[in-house]
Amino acid sequence: MSERPRELPRLKLAPQQRGFSSHIGPFYEIELAQGMRRAVQLEAKHLNPEGVVHGGVISSFADFALYRAIGDELGHEMTFATIELNCQFLAAAHANRWLYAEAQVLRKTRSIIFAAGEIFDAERQVAFASGIWKIIDAA
């Protein structure tokens, strides 16, 4: 995990935000010396009734970030779908802050991809996510 900045000045809008992802985002990304960092700015719409960011938002952001990281490493022309996603929530996330993610492929077989990543804000780790993706076709 690289140094956690208070802000990311060169964030670019991340591609592949059609459908459900567009309701949670927009998602952003920035290239690091090693890998990519994804980001979403948390808003009031992301909160649960207790006033903290809903776990479903964090899980959905994690799924997007891991999905994009798989594409970064294996090629965005490959198609694959989440078949399992695990999130361990470690701390509350709050509105009016940036939430970041960094992820990587752990292993790839002929038909399955394993990936994991960290979800964090400027101060602490918020969640750890890992999952399994099924390769739909190897383009």
pLDDT in tens, 84-138: 999 999 999 999 999 999 999 999 999 999 999 999 999 999 999 999 999 997 5
Q: State the pTM of this model.
A: 0.86
51/57 Cα distance (integer angstroms): 13
Domains and CATH numbers, the chain: 12-137 (3.10.129.10)
**In which residue are the tokens 């994804």 written?**
38
And the tokens for 39?
């980001």
Phi then psi for residue 102, to 5 deg, are: -135, 135
Which residue type occupies 56? G
Residue 19, pLDDT > 70, answer yes
Supply the mean pLDDT for the chain. 88
For position 7, what pLDDT does the model report? 53
Question: How many whole angstroms separate alpha carbon 99 and alpha carbon 126?
Answer: 9
Closest Cα partner for 118 from 96, 135, 103?
103
What percentage of the chain has pLDDT greater than the value 70? 89
Position 82, amino acid: T
Q: What is the largest CA-CA distance in the chain?
A: 44
Q: Record the tokens describing residue 38, joined without a space.
A: 């994804």
**Residue 24 and residue 40: Cα distance in Å, rounded?**
8
Structure tokens given for 66? 């891991």
In the numeric block, which tokens belong to residue 93?
Answer: 């996330």
